[in-house]
Chains A and B, each alone.
Chain A
Amino acid sequence: EPEVTQTPSHQVTQMGQEVILRCVPISNHLYFYWYRQILGQKVEFLVSFYNNEISEKSEIFDDQFSVERPDGSNFTLKIRSTKLEDSAMYFCASSEFDWSYEQYFGPGTRLTVT
């Protein structure tokens, strides 16, 4: 069964460093998303992406964040200068149909900022 994959599973970085989280969505999906979950809190929407453009972003997704689809398979989230409060689990998701409630999530990348 096709699945969304994410790398790395755990990333430890120092405050102020840049990190890139990688995702490979399901191959025939066209709509991509990033969510994050701070430990013990709810899953929060960060950004949606379609046709090489950001479709919607939350107030969390400030200038420190960017997304990119550098090739036909990868979808990345970059945090330019990490802060302690960026420590969270980051989930990539994809959907086949436009703006579907049925989104397929990857296993997540745990980001720890020290």
Chain B
Amino acid sequence: QQQVKQSPQSLIVQKGGIPIINCAYENTAFDYFPWYQQFPGKGPALLIAIRPDVSEKKEGRFTISFNKSAKQFSLHIMDSQPGDSATYFCVGTSNTGKLIFGQGTTLQVKP
């Protein structure tokens, strides 16, 4: 199966909070797990990505945690800011470059 399931659908946090977005996948053939960020009126943009043989990757305030045995991964945003308000997609990537998107999480960070 090629699905990527994402939760929650929406999330509201206060500035400085740590929103967490969770994803689960079924296809063990996925070879990369990127996260894309989308602002209104824009296309999705790559935020951070992880390979399945790595348990954690951190770039700035964004961290991916990866649990290969559970087929789950999550995005944590440390010290969230109002400018982080956007829709976040977890993605599974096939070896042909096809991106399989999760349903998306709309994050609102209140000042």
Point out residues on A near B: beta carbons under 8 Å.
Answer: 4, 31, 33, 35, 41-45, 48, 55-56, 58, 91, 93, 95, 98-108
Contact = CB atoms under 8 A, between A and B. Distances in A.
Interface in B78-109: 89, 91, 93-104
Contact of A43 (B32, B89, B97): B89
B29 interface: no
A102 B95 contact: no
B43 to A, nearest CB: 3
B104 to A, nearest CB: 6
A45 B101 CA distance: 8
A107 B42 contact: yes
B26 to A, nearest CB: 15
A108 B96 contact: no
A105 B44 contact: yes
A46 B36 CA distance: 18
Contacts, number: 64
Closest 5 A/B residue pairs (Cβ): A105-B43, A99-B97, A101-B32, A101-B93, A43-B101
Contacts of A55: 96-97
A32 to B, nearest CB: 10
A99 B102 CA distance: 19
Interface in B25-66: 32, 34, 36, 41-46, 49
Given A103-B46, A105-B44, A42 B97 contact: no
15 contacts: A4-B43, A35-B99, A42-B89, A42-B104, A45-B100, A48-B98, A56-B98, A58-B98, A91-B44, A95-B97, A98-B97, A101-B97, A102-B46, A105-B36, A106-B43
A58 B104 CA distance: 20
Contact of B99 (A41, A101, A107): A101
A41 B91 CA distance: 14
Contacts of B34: 101-102
Given A41-B103, A43-B89, A48 B44 contact: no
